[in-house]
Structure formats: structure tokens, C-alpha cells
A and B are shown apart, each in its own frame.
Chain A
Amino acid sequence: DAMVIQNPRYQVTQFGKPVTLSCSQTLNHNVMYWYQQKSSQAPKLLFHYYDKDFNNEADTPDNFQSRRPNTSFCFLDIRSPGLGDAAMYLCATSRDFGGGDLYQETQYFGPGTRLLVL
């Protein structure tokens, strides 16, 4: 049973053309994350939501925005994709660590969306 779903799995867009990636979860987790992963690099956290509270990483470009209309869904908007934004985008969820035992927590990842910018 899919728990974290990402659509589409592959996305091709043109340089400068806005694109939206979506993520949904059936786990009812408080926290949702967006990561960017380029080849042979560590997943890089772009931002995360704790419920409706948005937490942006300091080095995330303004070109990347996110929306979380409800617990289940989270969107990544890339306003003007550049060639350097071609990557795998991973969505993940977790429970809030502060509400439980950190040492039992983990993140659940979706399969990712591979973005190609032409």
C-alpha cells in the first residue's frame, strides 16, 4: 500500500516554464519535507512543514515555493526552472519528533519525481 505518493514520476519542462510537483500521504504525519537530490549527492532539504508551519532552509532559492493545503497534500512549485534545477525531487513525511520518542522516528519517502529541464 502506497503511503507517500508523488506525481508525476517524471516531469519534463522548458527553461523558465513554471512547474508543480505534488506529494500526498496516507500516514497522517504532521511533518512533510521536500528534498532535492542530484546525481551522486546527498538529498538536500529544501523546506519542511510542521503542520501548517513552513520552515524554509536558508539556502533554498526563492524560485522554489511550497504549499500545504491540508495534512495529506504538499506541493513544490518551481517558478522559473533553470537547467540547474534538473534533479530528483523527494517528498518525505514523519511524525513530529517533539511529540514522541525521537529514537523511534524515521522519515517515509515517496518514490520521487525526476525533473528534466529543456
Chain B
Amino acid sequence: DQQVKQNSPSLSVQEGRISILNCDYTNSMFDYFLWYKKYPAEGPTFLISISSIKDKNEDGRFTVFLNKSAKHLSLHIVPSQPGDSAVYFCAASGLITGNQFYFGTGTSLTVIP
């Protein structure tokens, strides 16, 4: 059972515009959420995270929003740059899940120059 879902396999955005990547989860015990970025032939790298005590976390051009009631989070990239083109994975964890992270299937972002 997929506990973390990314329903959009791909997204294309013009350079300079906003990219919005979405993620839904089903386990209400998750209380820590992360976004990873993956380039071809490389492993995922950590991008930004948010705990359930917050509804927003910002790091430069990247902002993650969490809506606990909807079990939904989103990653906003503003402004989008061609170097942001990659696959983005959403992941979730929590004290209840121990040392485990649960990943979504990823969204491939293409930023068009």
C-alpha cells in the first residue's frame, strides 16, 4: 500500500515561473516530511523538510507547505531555473515509524528556458 503519493508523474514550467509539486499521504502518524531531488545517474539528495508542528518552511527559492487536515504537502520553487529540472521525491516519516522513510513515486520537473 502506497502511503505517500505523488499523482503527477511530470510537470513542465517556464523559467522564472513558479513550480508547484504536490504530495499526499495516508498515514496520520507521519509527522515529518521531506523533499528530495534526484538528477539522472545520481542518488536522491535532501532538499527541504518540514515537521508537523509547522505549516510552512522556507529555504531560499524553495518553500514547503503542509496541510495536516488534508494530509497534503506541496513544494513551491520560485523562480524556477533550468537547473531545477530533476525528479522530486516526497518522503514521510515519524517517531512511530522508527528509522524508516516512505517515499512517493516522484515527479519529473522540466524547467524550460
Contact = CB atoms under 8 A, between A and B. Distances in A.
Contacts of B65: none
Interface in A97-118: 97-98, 102-103, 105-112
Given A42-B103, A50-B99, A97-B98, A109 B51 contact: no
A42 B51 contact: no
Contacts of B93: 97, 102
B44 A42 contact: no
Interface residues of B, number: 28
A32 B101 CA distance: 12
Contacts of A41: 105
Interface of A: 4, 6, 9, 31, 40-43, 45, 48, 50, 55, 90, 92, 94, 96-98, 102-103, 105-112
Interface in B41-78: 41-46, 49, 51
A108 B105 contact: no
B89 interface: yes
A111 B46 CA distance: 13
Interface of B: 2, 4, 9, 31-32, 34, 36, 41-46, 49, 51, 89, 93-95, 98-106
Nearest to B46: A106
A103 B51 contact: yes
A15 to B, nearest CB: 25
A23 to B, nearest CB: 11
A102 B95 contact: yes
Contacts of B31: 102
B46 A108 contact: yes
A42 B41 contact: no
Contacts of B94: 102
Given A106-B46, A111-B41, A42 B98 contact: no
Given A42-B104, A43-B44, A97-B99, 17 more contacts: A4-B43, A42-B89, A42-B102, A42-B103, A42-B105, A45-B100, A48-B100, A50-B99, A55-B99, A90-B44, A94-B99, A102-B31, A102-B94, A103-B32, A107-B101, A109-B36, A109-B43
